Amino acid sequence: MKKNIGVTALGTTVGSIKNQIYATETEQSNKLKGRINHSVCHWVFNPMSLDELCIASKEMGIQSVEILAVDTFPTLQKHNLVCGMVSGIGQGWGIEKAWNKIENHEGLTKFYHYLIDETAKAGFKNIICFSGNRDASINDQQGLENCAIGLKKLMPYAEKNGINIMIELLNSKVDHPNYMCDHTEWAVELCKKVDSPNFKIVYDIYHAQIMDGDIIATIKKYHPYFGHYHTGGVPGRHEIDASQELNYPAIMEAIVETGYQGFVAQEFIPKREDKIASLKQGVMLCDV
């Protein structure tokens, strides 16, 4: 009987050790390396609630949930998360109607002063902005000049409050017809004209691949102008795994090599049923 007890105890001990080793290996495989600061955009996970996404994000080591209005800040703070990029959409302003037309500047300036105040009060740092769309009344060069006029007037207030304003590069080929800031060079030229250390580009890799390609070379060339990164699979804007054409681990290595310290936000639209599993996969692929 004593022998049987010893064998049983030994078996239990071996089983426990195996479980502990497995748990440790799993924990280590899921542990983030700390070279990339991870964020996620809430809108691509709709209809998942912000609370649900915050809980899942916290568990996998994501530090930020973003592209959110100021009324969501208490929810983020409840979960001890930050908003890596505050939404610049509201009060009639958005992607299509923005800084490329002079008649929009007065209203936009008032709205962005409000965003700057609330973002600074919350302790967050970044607010997104947009160029607006092309139409028959305005060409790209005039739109560039108009954006620079309005944003140069705004930036002293942003600088005073320690806030960064960042214009997003979007594609006009698939998702946002006629959007003006659809090429990297246009956005870089705007940064040069605005001439503020607090004005940079949201380099959305999905959009940039559709319009310009050459992602890694572009990051190496223009990274001083890039203040934030978004991901997404091409084609389709779905999971960033082997089902699409971009090599995200290589792209992330290129970003790390530039010395970048900001956030990389997952902005792919999950097509799988288990959206959180897709998010975790994306984070791990980018965690180089």
Contacts of 68 (CB under 8 A, 6+ apart): 42, 50, 76, 83, 86, 87
Spatial distance between the Cα atoms of 270 and 246, rounded to a whole number of angstroms: 16
Burial code (b: 16+ CB inside 10 Å, e: under 16) for 87-125 equals bbbeeebebbbbbbbeebbeebbebbeebbebbbebebb
The answer to whether 198 and 163 are in contact (CB under 8 A) is: yes
Q: Is the peptide bond before 235 cis (omega within 30 degrees of 0)?
A: yes
What is the DSSP secondary-structure string of 24-66? HHHHHHHS--SSSEEEEESGGGTTS-HHHHHHHHHHHT--EEE
- CA terminus-to-terminus distance, the chain: 54
Per the structure block, which two tokens stand in for 143? Answer: 């739109």
CA distance 133 to 99: 9
CB atoms under 10 Å from CB of 234, counted, come to 21
Catalytic positions: 168, 267
Beta bridge partners of residue 39, listed in sequence order: 64, 265
